């Protein structure tokens, strides 16, 4: 049991998503003034921004759907996957992906809930990091779907 907890923490902490959050923190600490100046100098169309704020949420919906399909594609696929000894590792990665999808969605909505939008350096950084994080996450989930399909093809082959 402790091995599964250790593995879950490892997947959660040693990932591109965690690295992106750490880099965002470092950028905010080191370049807060530069970010603020850059954000105030931007002149963006407010109508475009209104719809752009939903991009990370839309990517999160796609990631959540892909995670569902990854684990519950069809009955024969689920049967083969659950017989696999490392199935718990796949589930761990899926749960961590869902955690990061929700985290990046909340991070992207934060600038709009405090009414500053991306007109502040912090709001701009949060929004950019959330989009980048969702894209990295989507690529990871897509790669996992490809690898699972490859595994299943070989598992079904005589």
The residue-averaged pLDDT of 57-82 equals: 88
Structure confidence at residue 13 (pLDDT): 94
Alpha carbons 87 and 151: distance in angstroms, whole number: 12
Residue 34: CB atoms within 10 A of its CB come to 11
The residue-averaged pLDDT of 18-45 equals: 89
Percent of the chain past pLDDT 90, that is, above it, reads 53
The residue-averaged pLDDT of 22-40 equals: 91
Half-sphere CA count of 86, side-chain side, radius 13 A: 6
The residue-averaged pLDDT of 68-82 equals: 82
Structure confidence at residue 150 (pLDDT): 87
The residue-averaged pLDDT of 30-55 equals: 84
Output DSSP code: residue 119: S
Structure confidence at residue 120 (pLDDT): 84
Under the banding of pLDDT at 50, 70 and 90, the label for residue 45 is: confident
Alpha carbons 44 and 118: distance in angstroms, whole number: 10
- 10 touches 108 (CB < 8 A): no
Q: Which two tokens stand for residue 37?
A: 């100046």
> Nearest-5° angle of CA 80, CA 83, CA 84?
90
The chain-wide mean pLDDT, for the chain, equals 88
* For residue 157, pLDDT beyond 70: no
Structure confidence at residue 152 (pLDDT): 81
Under the banding of pLDDT at 50, 70 and 90, the label for residue 97 is: very high
Structure confidence at residue 115 (pLDDT): 75
> Nearest-5° angle of CA 134, CA 139, CA 144?
125
Q: What is the pTM of this model?
A: 0.88
Q: What is the per-residue pLDDT across 57-69, written as a single tens digit (0 to 9) for each?
A: 999 999 999 999 8
Structure confidence at residue 89 (pLDDT): 92
């Amino acid at each position: 049991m402790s091995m599964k907890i250790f593995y879950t923490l490892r997947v959660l902490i040693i990932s591109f998503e965690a690295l992106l959050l750490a880099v965002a923190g470092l950028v905010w600490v080191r370049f807060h003034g530069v970010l603020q100046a850059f954000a105030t100098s931007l002149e963006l169309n407010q109508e475009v921004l209104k719809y752009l704020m939903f991009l990370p949420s839309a990517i999160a919906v796609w990631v959540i759907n892909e995670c569902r399909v990854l684990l519950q594609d069809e009955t024969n696929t689920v049967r083969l996957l659950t017989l696999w000894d490392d199935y718990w590792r796949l589930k761990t990665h899926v749960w961590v992906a869902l955690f990061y999808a929700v985290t990046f969605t909340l991070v992207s909505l934060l600038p709009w809930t405090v009414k500053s939008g991306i007109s502040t350096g912090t709001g701009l950084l949060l929004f950019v990091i959330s989009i980048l994080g969702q894209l990295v996450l989507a690529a990871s989930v897509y790669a996992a779907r490809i690898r699972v399909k490859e595994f299943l093809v070989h598992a079904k082959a005589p």
